[in-house]
Chains A and B, each alone.
Chain A
Amino acid sequence: MSSSSRSVRQVSVGRTVAWVLLFILLIVTLFPFYWMLRTAFSDNTQLPGHPNSLLPVETTLGAFKRVLGLSSIEEAQAQGGSGAAVNFWLYLRNSLVVATITTVCQVFFSAMAAYAFARLRWPGRDKVFAVFLAALMVPPIFTTLPNFVLIKNLGLLNSFAGIILPGAFMTPFAIFFLRQFFLGINRELEEAAMIDGAGHRRIFFGMIIPLSAAPIATLAILTYINSWNDYFWPLLVGQQENVRVLTVALGVFRSQTPQGGPDWAGLMAATLIAALPMIILFLAFAKRITNSIGFSGIK
């Protein structure tokens, strides 16, 4: 056998193995999502009898009805629920309120600050920016404890304001991210607008924001996802039902589940409800989100 044909075969064997590995990786990535779906549509009392059935066991919407508070206690218990009152509609609404307000405020105020850091000239600008960036180094738990004290003293425990306020004004990352894009906008455009008599407010709203629509949208999506997925802060300040967000509700639901016969179907239906909006958001913006990672990750 000639050496060249041997190397061709080695390469193709190598590539085949590589494709198989990639395929396995995709299955390992997707399987838990499928298993969540499969369990959520199953009848909880029947689950232990068919642990390895690939399809839902006794397909039913019972688990969803249970966690959305749509079935009676008897119905819920007949299908293996705990019978405790849960209302994931309410938690879904709360998550929507918190994530939406946080995202709109944080991105807008961060864009304003990024404009001042990128497009305006003032003494001490770069030093102030460096101080803002340095805050990335402080681990959240360190500021969380005093922030909790502050929110408590303001009487904002168990209110939307208490959950939203700390994240509503800025994050160092958001300012850094937008500043990068604002820096790249052509100065001549701005100067032409100035000559036409436009002020900074008009330049910011009429030029900078429209020209940066794509990065602002990317940042907004990432902020929304982070805010939606946050657990620690809402756990501390938003325990009560009227402001309880989905992640906190999931933790509560899990701890209420009896050790003997957990309501796995209900739990998976609840996690699916919590994950679904993010999955939909991701399906809609997969390309934008995926392409942003190379940039946003290296902070």
Chain B
Amino acid sequence: VTATTNAPPDTRRSHGDSGAPPGKRRSLGDLKVAMIFIAPATLGFVVFYIWPTLRGAYLSFTEYSLLSAPKFNGLANYDRMIHDSFFWNALGVTVEYVVINIGLQTVLAVGIAMLMYRLTKSITVRAIILAPYLVANVVVALVWYWMLDVQVGIVNTFLGWVGIDPIAFFGDSHWAIPTVAGINVWRHMGYTALLVFAGLQTIPSYVYEAAEVDGSTEWKTFWRITLPLLRPVLVMVLVVTMIGSFQIFDTVAVTTQGGPINATRVIYYYIYERAFTRFDFGYASAMALVLFAILAVVSLVQLRLLRARESDLA
């Protein structure tokens, strides 16, 4: 059946917008051909997305060490999670990371987008700003790991020139999370700025012209006009970047590996450790499900905010 080169005649006739025969044959449309076209994608989708999603949910109610079949244990994993101080620490560390990362990144991205919007449309400038985003997390993490080294890192040399003592960016538990967050701000701010930049270009120029006629200053125009009109784009950008930010793993895995003393044991890393060094798959799945729920709530809240804003755009 799959070898048909040409579509069967009835499919062909019912395809166009006009002249489709009414009745049952119309309602099936191109179903046969469509099945062939979506077959590979559907196979991948069911095997590597749907099935693992269901299986992951099931595993979260089991004790599973990979060696023997999963053993159903009800809510035991969730009960354990509530009393697991490492879990709460991981959650707290992750939230601290997300707040610093997203806060800094969003402010900088809006600033960079404004700079580009007001100064230059140069594709070269935009390309340079995007460049860090195209290099692997692991590469970025290692380059900064070297530049921020406490003994021979160039950043501490710079700090020395302005009279600041060397900082153990990765070794000091107060600095570790802000450092990891900062590294990823460096990688993502250009990308985020380009998203905001695209949003800025959708604001019609007559709005600015009107503001200018009214004698509005640049500063006032930004706060009263640009930012409110940018809100829908900003909320979308926040949803996308924040979901990504909660999944911080690579940078931690190649630099601090959770240390010093749990200071950077983010939730993704903790789940990874539980699953792949302790083979505690049931518990790891339960934590992954909780992370899933947190992300869903965060995105829903943000999307609500987006909808609320749409009204004051009109």
* A150, A165, A267, A297, most chain B CB atoms within 10 A: A297
Establish whether residues B136 and A228, one from each chain, have CB atoms under 8 Å apart when the complex forms: yes
B residues 246-267 touching A (CB-CB < 8 Å): 246-247, 249-250, 253-254
Instruction: Assess whether A113 is in contact with B29, with CB atoms less than 8 Å apart.
Output: no
Chain B residues positioned under 8 Å from A289 (CB to CB): 127, 130, 134
What residues of chain B lie closer than 8 Å to A63, measured between beta carbons?
none
Instruction: For chain B, residues 193 to 244, give those with C-beta under 8 angstroms from any C-beta of chain A.
Output: 194-195, 197-198, 201, 218, 233, 236-237, 240, 243
Give chain B nearest CB distance to A237 CB in angstroms. 11
B103 at the binding interface (Cβ < 8 Å) = no
A287 and B123 in contact, given A112-B37, A294-B198 (Cβ under 8 angstroms):
yes
In this assembly, does B56 line the interface, its C-beta being within 8 Å of a C-beta of chain A? yes
Chain B residues 157 to 171 lying within 8 A of chain A, measured CB to CB, are 157
The distance in angstroms between the C-alpha atoms of A60 and B120, with both chains bound, is 39
Complexed CA–CA distance, A139 and B6 (Å): 40
Interface pair A139/B291, CB less than 8 Å apart: yes
Contact in complex: B143, A142 (CB < 8 Å): no
B305 CB to nearest chain A CB (Å): 16
Residue A235 CB within 8 A of the other chain: yes
Are B12 and A194 in contact (CB-based, < 8 A)? Answer: yes
B14 at the A interface (CB under 8 A) = yes
Instruction: Give CA–CA (A132, B281) in the complex, Å.
Output: 26
Q: Closest B-chain residue to A287, C-beta based? A: B123
Tell me whether A145 and B135 are in contact (CB under 8 A).
no
State whether A168 and B44 are in contact (beta carbons under 8 Å apart), knowing that A143-B53, A202-B5, A298-B240 are contacts in the complex.
Answer: yes
Task: Say yes or no: B123 contacts A290, CB within 8 Å.
Answer: yes
Which residue in B40, B53, B128, B289 is a CB contact (below 8 Å) of A26?
B128
B131 CB contacts on chain A under 8 angstroms:
29-30, 33, 279, 282
Question: Are A294 and B197 in contact (CB-based, < 8 A)?
Answer: yes
- A-side contacts of B115, CB under 8 Å: 18, 21-22, 25
Q: Is B72 an interface residue (CB 8 A)?
A: no
Q: Within 8 Å of chain A (Cβ to Cβ): is B7?
A: yes
- Interface presence of B61 (CB below 8 A): no
Which residue of the partner chain, among A21, A120, A142, contacts B292 with CB atoms under 8 Å? A142
Is there contact, CB below 8 Å, between A187 and B17?
yes
Tell whether A200 pairs with B30 under 8 Å between CB atoms, given A18-B115, A145-B284, A168-B44.
yes
Contact of B237 among A22, A132, A235, A297 (CB under 8 A): A297
Check B247–A140 contact: CB distance below 8 A: yes
Given contacts A135-B45, A169-B43, A271-B142, contact A123 B29 (CB under 8 A): yes
Does A210 interact with chain B (Cβ within 8 Å)?
Answer: no
0/1 string, B169-202, CB within 8 A of A gives 1: 0000000000000000010001100110110010
- Asked if A141 is at the interface (CB within 8 A of a chain B CB), the reply is yes
A8 within 8 A of B: no
- Tell me, yes or no, whether B75 is within 8 Å of chain A by CB: no
Partner of A22, one of B42, B59, B119, B249: B119
Question: Which of B78-86, B89-97, B144-152 forms part of the interface with chain A?
Answer: B144-152
Q: Which of A58-97 contact B (CB under 8 A)?
A: none
Nearest opposing residue in chain B for A15, CB measure = B119
**Cβ distance B220 to chain A, nearest Cβ, rounded Å:** 14
For chain A, the bracket of interface size reads 35 or more
Q: What 1/0 mask marks residues of chain B from 272 to 296 whose CB sits below 8 Å from any chain A CB?
A: 1001100001001100110110011
Docked-complex contact A169 and B44, CB < 8 angstroms: yes
Q: DSSP majority for the A interface? A: helix
In the docked arrangement, what's the CA distance between A103 and B235, Å? 31
Given contacts A112-B38, A137-B296, A271 and B249 within 8 Å (CB-CB): no
What CA separation (Å) do A115 and B35 show in the bound complex? 11
A123–B291 Cα distance when bound, in Å, is: 35
The contact of B138 among A132, A142, A247, A264, by CB within 8 Å, is: A247
B313 in the interface, Cβ–Cβ < 8 Å? no
Q: Which of A127-179 contact B (CB under 8 A)?
A: 128, 132, 135, 137-150, 152, 165-166, 168-170, 172, 175
Q: Is A116 an interface residue (CB 8 A)?
A: yes
Closest to B249 in A: A232
> Contact between A169 and B250 (Cβ–Cβ < 8 Å)?
no
B137 touches A200 (CB 8 A): no
Q: Complex Cα distance A200/B268, Å? A: 44
Interface pair B291/A141, CB less than 8 Å apart: yes
Partner of A199, one of B7, B45, B48, B136: B7
Given A18-B119, A25-B112, A275-B136, residue A250 in contact with residue B30 (CB < 8 A) = no
Q: Which 6 A-B pairs have the closest CB atoms?
A: A169-B44, A294-B198, A199-B6, A113-B41, A146-B52, A229-B136
Given contacts A112-B37, A197-B6, A271-B143, 15 further A-B contacts (CB under 8 A): A26-B128, A29-B128, A32-B140, A32-B186, A39-B146, A113-B41, A116-B38, A122-B28, A135-B49, A139-B295, A141-B268, A145-B284, A170-B41, A287-B123, A293-B195
5 contacts between A and B (CB under 8 A): A21-B111, A52-B154, A168-B44, A200-B33, A287-B123
Interface residues of A (CB under 8 A from B): 14-15, 18-19, 21-22, 25-26, 28-30, 32-33, 35-36, 39, 47-48, 51-52, 109-110, 112-113, 115-117, 120-123, 125, 128, 132, 135, 137-150, 152, 165-166, 168-170, 172, 175, 187, 191, 194, 197-202, 204, 225, 228-229, 231-232, 235-236, 246-247, 250-251, 254, 264, 267-268, 271, 274-275, 278-279, 281-282, 286-287, 289-291, 293-295, 297-299
